[in-house]
Amino acid sequence: GQQLNQSPQSMFIQEGEDVSMNCTSSSIFNTWLWYKQDPGEGPVLLIALYKAGELTSNGRLTAQFGITRKDSFLNISASIPSDVGIYFCAGSPGTASKLTFGTGTRLQVTL
């Protein structure tokens, strides 16, 4: 099935640094979601975006719904060790529709 392209694929950063990752699609989505998955666990919803151009924050996390509706960005400020994990974007074409997931960005934070 279709997958969204996420970049970077993985990143090593130092504690305290800011992190940026993005997700692109060849088709338009009406909802963008960002999840974090820890090893052996299910994904946890971080941020949901519903409108093109929307910028939404959740603590140190900020996500934006691209104006073209074909991309989304997630920023993490002042990273801490517990930010380690895999971050997935997911797009939905409409209400209660199935999600298409990104390829994931693996984040590792060093002290």
Partner 1 sequence: GAVVSQHPSRVICKSGTSVKIECRSLDFQATTMFWYRQFPKQSLMLMATSNEGSKATYEQGVEKDKFLINHASLTLSTLTVTSAHPEDSSFYICSASSTVRVDEQFFGPGTRLTVL
Q: Contact 48/107 with Cβ under 8 angstroms?
A: no
Contact between 35 and partner 1 per CB under 8 A: yes
d(CA 63, CA 14): 21
Question: x/- contact string, 64-93, with partner 1 (CB under 8 A)?
Answer: ------------------------x-x-x-
Contact between 99 and partner 1 per CB under 8 A: yes
Contact between 26 and partner 1 per CB under 8 A: no
Tokens of 51: 């409108």
Taking alpha carbons only, the member of 71, 68, 94, 70 closest to residue 20 is 71
Q: In the bound complex, what is the minimum distance in angstroms from residue 10's beta carbon to partner 1?
A: 10
d(CA 69, CA 15): 32
User: What is the binding site for partner 1 (CB under 8 A)?
Assistant: 1, 3, 31, 33, 35, 40-45, 48, 50, 88, 90, 92, 95-96, 98-99, 101-104
